[in-house]
Amino acid sequence: MLTTRRQALKTFTAAAIASTALGRISSFAQTPAPAAAPKPPTGPFTLPPLPYVYDALEPSIDAETMHLHHDKHHAAYVNKLNEALAKEPSFVVAPGSNVDDLLKNLATVPESIRLAVRNQGGGHSNHSLFWQTLSAKGSAPTGALAKALDADLGGLDKVKAEMAKLGAGVFGSGWSWLVLDGGKKLTLIALPNQDSPLMEGHYPLFGIDVWEHAYYLKYHNLRADYITAIWNIVNWDFISKRYDAAMAA
C-alpha cells in the first residue's frame, strides 16, 4: 500500500509539472508580439537627398558626420515639422509646398504650432540650402556676386574673417550667414538655433552651421577649425547662381 501511494504521488507531481509547463507555453504563444515602431508622420514635406555621397566632402567634413547630420538630424526636423502641421488640420499646406514660404509668412501659422514651425521648419530650410552650398571640388565667387562681395563687404577674405567671428561668437547653437538684405545688399549676420534669415526679411545665400552635430565628431570642441576647413568646400558656383536669380527677381 505504501508503494502504491508513493507511485501515485509521483504520478500526480509529474502531471502537475507538465500541466504548468503547458500553461506557460500556451501563455507565451498567446502573448502578442511587441508593436512595431511608429512610422514617421507623413505630411507635405520630405527629406531631400544629399547631392553627393557621404564621404564626398572629406577631409573637411567626414562621412560619419554627413550621415548623421543628414539622415538623422535633418530627417528629424522634417518629421517633427510634419507632426506639428498634423496637429492643426485646418491649416492646410499642400504637398510639395516650399517650406521657405511658411517661414516668410510665419505670422499666418496658427499660434499653437508657430514655434514648432519656426524651429523645425527653420531646420529643414537651413539644411536644404546648406547641402547645396557645399561641394567636393569647391570653387571661387564669380560674376556679379564676386563684384558685390568686394563692393558691399570688402572682399572674400573679409567675408571669411567676419563669418568666422560671427560663427565663433554664437553662444550655443546657431548659424553664421551671408544674406541679401531687403535692399538687395550683401550682409553678414548670425542667428540662434534654427532661425531662418527669411524670418528677418533677408534672403539666405550661404550659411555655416555651427550646431555641434555639424562638426563635433571630427573637430570636437574646436569650432574655429571646422569653420576654417569649410571654406575649402564652398560651392560658390551654386551661390553665384542663387545670387543672380535673387537680383533678377
- Structural domains in the chain, sorted by start: 62-132 (1.10.287.990), 143-248 (3.55.40.20)
**Of 183, 187, 176, nearest to 149 (Cα)?**
187
Q: Which helix (H) or strand (E) holds 118?
A: none
User: Rounded CA gap, 148 and 151, in Å?
Assistant: 5
Average pLDDT per 10 consecutive residues for the chain, totaling 249 residues: 47 47 44 51 88 98 98 98 96 90 96 98 98 94 97 98 98 98 97 97 98 98 98 97 97
Residue 204: phi and psi, rounded to 5, are -75, 135
Q: Residue 43: its pLDDT value, please?
A: 83
Q: Which three cell numbers stand for residue 36?
A: 512595431
Residue type, 160: K
Q: Which three cell numbers stand for residue 128?
A: 536644404
Q: Residue 40: its pLDDT value, please?
A: 53
pTM for the whole thing?
0.83
**Of 212, 117, 134, 215, nearest to 174 (Cα)?**
212
What one-character DSSP code corresponds to residue 134?
B
Burial degree of 206 (CB within 10 A; 0-12, 13-18, 19+): buried
Q: Which three cell numbers stand for residue 246?
A: 535673387
Dihedral over alpha carbons 70, 74, 79, 80 (to 10 degrees) = 160
